[in-house]
Structure 1
Amino acid sequence: MSLLPESASFEELVQDYFLAVRGAGLMLSALDTELLTAWAREGVPFEVVARGISRSAEKALWDARPGEPVLRNLRACRRQVDAEIKKYRALAAGAGVAAEPEAPSRRRKALSWEQTRHARLVDALEDLAGRDSLLAPRVAWLRGTVLAQVPEEPSALDAQESLSFLVLLRALPFSQRHQVWRDALSMGTEQQVMSVRARKLSRRFRLVAAVRRRLGVKEV
């Protein structure tokens, strides 16, 4: 998700991602910094918190007024981030534990956070293919290539999800693709003081959000 140095701290990664998705601002407030420190103590991967931030931003995106940041502060993401942390911990605790079997031959390992996210993405795209025959061949292609394996790293999951929706965007008729781009450009703000990396991340977030809205794909 980030092009910060590998030595960047958890707090630096989250702040960098939040400001890029928000599309404005240079630093966090004291209260936001306190919340960020609390999340750092949770010991979860950066991508877990980033996912909560992106989901919060996507929910707020359509209500933001032109020229206003998508999110006012990091605290606006607290509910989504805390829910994502709780989900990650529950799945991590259950990973590798056999479910209660009806018979020994039916025992299955509990899904990990990564496997659960991947399965939800696949299910959402399969549902989309069933609703839109135009996209069905592209979804089938994604299933055999981009989504053929479950990534082991959370960051690879985010890349996999973004790429999937960008591939589907290219399958839409020109008029619809053009409208999606217009919708993405109209969302939120983008300050000149933002770094090139931050502007790129902000644009990608808005574009993927616009594609998901156009396709009627809710949170996965």
Structure 2
Amino acid sequence: MSLLPESASFEELVQDYFLAVRGAGLMLSALDAELLTAWAREGVPFEVVARGISRSAEKALWDARPGEPVLRNLRACRRQVDAEIKKYRSLAAGASAPPEPTSKRRKALSWEETRHTRLIDALEDLAGREPTLAARVTWLRGTVLANVPQEPAVMDAQEALSFLALLRALPFPQRREVWRGALSVGTEQQVMSVRARKVSRRFRLVAAVRRRLGVKEV
């Protein structure tokens, strides 16, 4: 999800992703930096926090006025990020707990397994609603989504690739409409790095595809 070097710290990764999705700013405020430090202490993967940020940004994306940042500050993401952290911890605890000898219940799914299952369910629902995309959904299940990821970053990549593949399956006029819609929302500062600009545009494009297909965050 981030294009920073592997040696980048958790705080650097989150700040880089937030500013790219926001489309404006060069650094965090003191209050935002304090919140970021608190999230770092939680010890969860960067992708968990980034998912909360993207959820918040996507909800605000279509209400933002032209030229305005999608999010005012990092604190606007707090509710979604805290919810993702709580969900990750709950699922991680359930997945790592050894099953009781007398219990017939299945082992709890991990955070990645849960997202993978929900994504497949959402795509199957999409195939039922839009038969012209059924073949592409079948192809995705046999290729991009064939393996259940064990790392958050791999799950993020699977989800993004799936929606970009669905975009390519749309007729050209619809693809063009989605592209135009993605580029018309939010903002990009001229001072943004090439890396940040790429993250920003990918976020908006995937959000636009999901909006066009009627698929909510999974």
Q: Which residue is equivalent to 2:170? A: 172
Q: Which residue is equivalent to 2:136? A: 138
Q: CA deviation at 1:42?
A: 0.4
Q: Which residue is equivalent to 1:120? A: 118
1:16 pairs with 2:16: yes
Q: How does 1:37-56 map to 2 (within 5 A)?
A: 37-56=37-56
Q: CA deviation at 1:99?
A: 6.7
Q: Which residue is equivalent to 2:216? A: 218
Query: Which consecutive segments of 4 or more residues in structure 1 shift more than 3 A?
Result: 96-101
Distance 1:97 1:177 in 2: 45
Q: Which residue is equivalent to 1:70? A: 70
Distance 1:144 1:159 in 2: 16
Report if the CA contact (8 A) 1:184-1:210 is conserved: yes
Q: How does 1:173-212 map to 2 (within 5 A)?
A: 173-212=171-210
Distance 1:134 1:100 in 2: 46
Q: CA deviation at 1:192?
A: 1.0
Q: Which runs of 5+ in 2 are unaligned?
A: none
Q: CA deviation at 1:96?
A: 3.7
Distance 2:96 2:15 in 1: 33
Query: In structure 2, what residue type is equivalent to 1:82?
Result: D
Q: Which residue is equivalent to 1:148? A: 146
Distance 1:125 1:28 in 2: 36
Cα deviation, 1:54-96, whole Å, max 9, x if unaligned, reads 0000000010000000000000000000000000000011004
Q: Which runs of 5+ in 1 are unaligned?
A: none
Q: 1:186 to 1:7 in 2, by over 3 A?
A: same
| TM value normalised by structure 2 | 0.97
| TM value normalised by structure 1 | 0.96
Query: In structure 1, what residue type is equivalent to 2:135?
Result: P
Distance 1:99 1:202 in 2: 42
Report if the CA contact (8 A) 1:99-1:110 is conserved: no
Cα deviation, 1:34-58, whole Å, max 9, x if unaligned, reads 0000000000000000000000000
Distance 2:35 2:133 in 1: 41
Report if the CA contact (8 A) 1:98-1:107 is conserved: no
Q: How many residues align?
A: 218
Distance 1:152 1:44 in 2: 14
Distance 1:218 1:153 in 2: 22
Distance 1:13 1:150 in 2: 25
Query: In structure 1, what residue type is equivalent to 2:212?
Result: R
Report if the CA contact (8 A) 1:19-1:25 is conserved: yes
Distance 2:193 2:17 in 1: 12
